[in-house]
Amino acid sequence: MLSEIYSAGLYGIDGFIVTVEADGQPRMANFELVGLPDMAVKEAKERVRTACENSGYRFPAMAYMVNLAPADRKKEGSQFDVAILTGILRCAGVINREIDMKSKCIVGELSLSGAWRTVRGVLSMCVAARDAGFTEFYVPVQNAREAAAVHGITVYGVHSMREFIDHLNGTKPLQPTQPDEGAFGEAGVDYGIDFSDVKGQALAKRAMEIAAAGGHNILLIGPPGTGKSMLAKRLATILPPLTFEEAIETTKVHSVTGTLPDGTSLLSTRPFRAPHHTMSAVALVGGGANPRPGEVSLANHGVLFLDEFPEFPKQVTDALRQPLEDRRVTISRASGRVTFPCAFMLVGAMNPCRCGYFGHPTRPCTCKTGDVQRYISRISGPMLDRMDIQIELPSLSYDELAANTAPAETSATVRERVIKAREFAKNRMHDDKILCNAQLDAAGIRKYCKIDESASQLLRMAYESMGLSARGYDRVMRVARTIADLDGSEVIKDMHVAEAIQLRSLDKKYWGA
């Protein structure tokens, strides 16, 4: 007697449909599970048997063969438990065989008591189920709000196996989980920090605003205690709100990795990730035997902050070069290729030297001759080229810190200007579906970066005197385009180029360009 139940698996951050075929024959009791299962799936046999008994049902004394199709695709995780037991009980007649299961996709882990336990990656699996034409999606009640964020499919949150069987047999129908309309939107955004917390550093704040308006990477250099980390942590508060599509993509990454906060259906704030400098390249960009997203993907549509930038191994920082250009990470394994999104803004922070006081007005630098250059050279030239903005933060005096001046601008005020600049740019580039100036390639720069004669002459002088690379030239043009957008100007003028050059002046000071 054959029964087919539908579940879902994960590959990368995308879900795929798995057909659970259960066949029961009146022979000596046996239970075989095939279809390229990993160890967690193989162990489902014992969980399923015990959960069935503790749910009040006798496990049928038959010979069962359960196949997870497609059989040539690796199945990982514990989310197939419920579908396996459902197929077995349907074979045995505990679940009415007349019930149409072709419209139902079932995902969930079983506890030994028969309760449904939460699983990771529910959002991705629900999207896959909807796209495959399923109209009903059954998940543990803890995952129901997350799945309900997907439009076009009815989601049911289930507490236990008995509750699920009663629903299928029509004795106690479950109520669908309603989408949380307040889970996404401006009203739910609360970062708990604000741009007005940072005292002084007007030039650095301006640089952060420009970076936010154009989606540019930024490098902050300065002695300890100048506010580098404070500014970096507040960058997300001045970025435009997440769109619904961005929220779905970002939530999928966090759902798959199990980092989605409890009770959260959709991420409403842009992610901020600040990994330690001892991390490996795999932890940063993703990978492993069974590829998982790294920090760059967890920061998708948000901010990746690398404090003490030169302390990261060069192999690790150089691994960022391709993701910064492509905005995606592709990992190849013998079993196939996985692509993770990573459209993030990179913020690096570093001291000017190992002791931290090179160029300080009052504290002497204790580094030896050549130590400063060796310390800075830990960042490769190609990696530095990818930092659109490089800004130096000076030490603040006591008077600047203690002054009772008028409150600084709030994040909300700065964000209004950022949103206006992005809309200005979006209206100009909507034909090419470019969202911000940082995404402009060489062709886009030629098309959208209209520059007047005086600005062109100024850029020529800077290119020759600073020894900019071709990539450095493109970066200056992109930043100048963003500054012009903040001014509401379609044409890049000399003052825009001058400010963009000023924001890369550290090339000359530290790297001898």
Residue 340 lies in a domain: yes
* Most trustworthy range by pLDDT among 164-173, 260-269, 504-513: 164-173
DSSP state of 98: T
Residue 129 lies in a domain: yes
Residue 338 lies in a domain: yes
In the β-sheet with 218-221, what is the strand arrangement from edge to edge? 272-273, 303-306, 345-350, 218-221, 389-392
> In the predicted model, what is the mean pLDDT of residues 277-292?
90
Flag the least confident range among 60-69, 83-92, 329-338. 329-338
The region that residue 102 occupies, defined by phi over 0 for left and psi between -120 and 50 for alpha, beta otherwise, is: alpha
CATH of the domain at 168: 3.30.230.10
CATH of the domain at 292: 3.40.50.300
Q: Which pLDDT score is estimated for 189?
A: 63
Whether residue 329 sits in one domain with residue 416: yes
Alpha-carbon span 422 to 415, nearest angstrom: 10
> In the predicted model, what is the mean pLDDT of residues 220-244?
91
pLDDT tens-digit profile of 165-222? 999 999 999 999 998 766 565 444 667 889 888 888 889 999 999 999 999 999 999 9
> In the predicted model, what is the mean pLDDT of residues 436-453?
90
pLDDT tens-digit profile of 372-385? 888 888 888 888 88
Expressed as residue numbers, the domain containing 100 is 2-179
Q: Which pLDDT score is estimated for 209?
A: 96
Tell me the backbone φ, ψ of residue 265, rounded to 5 degrees: -90, -40
Q: Which pLDDT score is estimated for 27?
A: 86
Alpha-carbon span 118 to 147, nearest angstrom: 12
Of residues 383 and 467, which shows the higher confidence score? 383
Whether residue 170 sits in one domain with residue 227: no
Mean of per-residue pLDDT scores for the chain:
89
Tell whether the model's pLDDT for residue 23 goes beyond 70: yes
Q: Which pLDDT score is estimated for 510?
A: 44
Residue 509 lies in a domain: no
Q: What angle do CA 116, 92, 122 make, to 5 degrees?
A: 25
Tell whether the model's pLDDT for residue 72 goes beyond 80: yes
Whether residue 106 sits in one domain with residue 201: no
> In the predicted model, what is the mean pLDDT of residues 449-469?
87
Residue 259 contacts residue 296 (beta carbons within 8 Å): no
Q: Which pLDDT score is estimated for 56?
A: 94
Choose among 124, 107, 116, 111: nearest CA to 20: 107
Question: Pick from 111, 145, 179: which residue ends a domain?
Answer: 179
Whether residue 233 sits in one domain with residue 166: no
Q: Which pLDDT score is estimated for 201?
A: 85
Tell whether the model's pLDDT for residue 304 goes beyond 80: yes
Of residues 385 and 238, which shows the higher confidence score? 238
For residue 493, what are the CA distances in angstroms to 211, 451, 478, 481?
A: 19, 6, 13, 9
Whether residue 58 sits in one domain with residue 136: yes
Whether residue 107 sits in one domain with residue 148: yes
Residue 507 binned pLDDT confidence (cut-offs 50, 70, 90)? low
Report the half-sphere exposure of 448 (CA within 13 A, side-chain side).
31
Residue 250 binned pLDDT confidence (cut-offs 50, 70, 90)? very high
Alpha-carbon span 381 to 44, nearest angstrom: 51
Which residue's structure tokens are 């239970």?
31
Tell whether the model's pLDDT for residue 425 goes beyond 60: yes
The full 3-state SS of 16-31, as one line of letters, equals EEEEEEEEEECCCCEE
> In the predicted model, what is the mean pLDDT of residues 60-83?
93
Whether residue 98 sits in one domain with residue 229: no
Helix (H, G, I), strand (E, B) or coil at 341: strand
Whether residue 153 sits in one domain with residue 24: yes
Helix (H, G, I), strand (E, B) or coil at 191: coil
Alpha-carbon span 435 to 381, nearest angstrom: 27
pLDDT tens-digit profile of 220-231? 999 988 889 999
Question: Pick from 148, 179, 210: which residue ends a domain?
Answer: 179
Whether residue 156 sits in one domain with residue 272: no
Percent of the chain with pLDDT over 90: 62
Tell whether the model's pLDDT for residue 391 goes beyond 80: yes
Overall residue count recorded for the chain in this entry: 513
**CB-based burial, 45-56: b 16+ in 10 Å, e otherwise:** bebbebbbebbe
What single-letter amino acid sits at 78? S
How many separate domains does the chain show?
Answer: 2
Q: Which pLDDT score is estimated for 187?
A: 44
Tell whether the model's pLDDT for residue 447 goes beyond 60: yes
Tokens of 433: 């579906």
Residue 198 lies in a domain: yes
How many Cβ atoms from other residues are within 10 Å of residue 441's Cβ?
Answer: 13
Of residues 404 and 126, which shows the higher confidence score? 126
> In the predicted model, what is the mean pLDDT of residues 225-240?
92
Residue 511 lies in a domain: no
Alpha-carbon span 79 to 275, nearest angstrom: 30
Q: Which pLDDT score is estimated for 433?
A: 77
Tell whether the model's pLDDT for residue 513 goes beyond 60: no
Whether residue 192 sits in one domain with residue 166: no
Whether residue 96 sits in one domain with residue 222: no
Which residue's structure tokens are 């401006």?
186
Q: What angle do CA 39, 111, 117 make, to 5 degrees?
A: 90
Work out the angle between the directed axes of helices 470-486 and 202-214 (0-180°, nearest 10): 100
Question: Pick from 121, 154, 179: which residue ends a domain?
Answer: 179
What single-letter amino acid sits at 452? D
Whether residue 272 sits in one domain with residue 141: no
Residue 236 contacts residue 415 (beta carbons within 8 Å): no
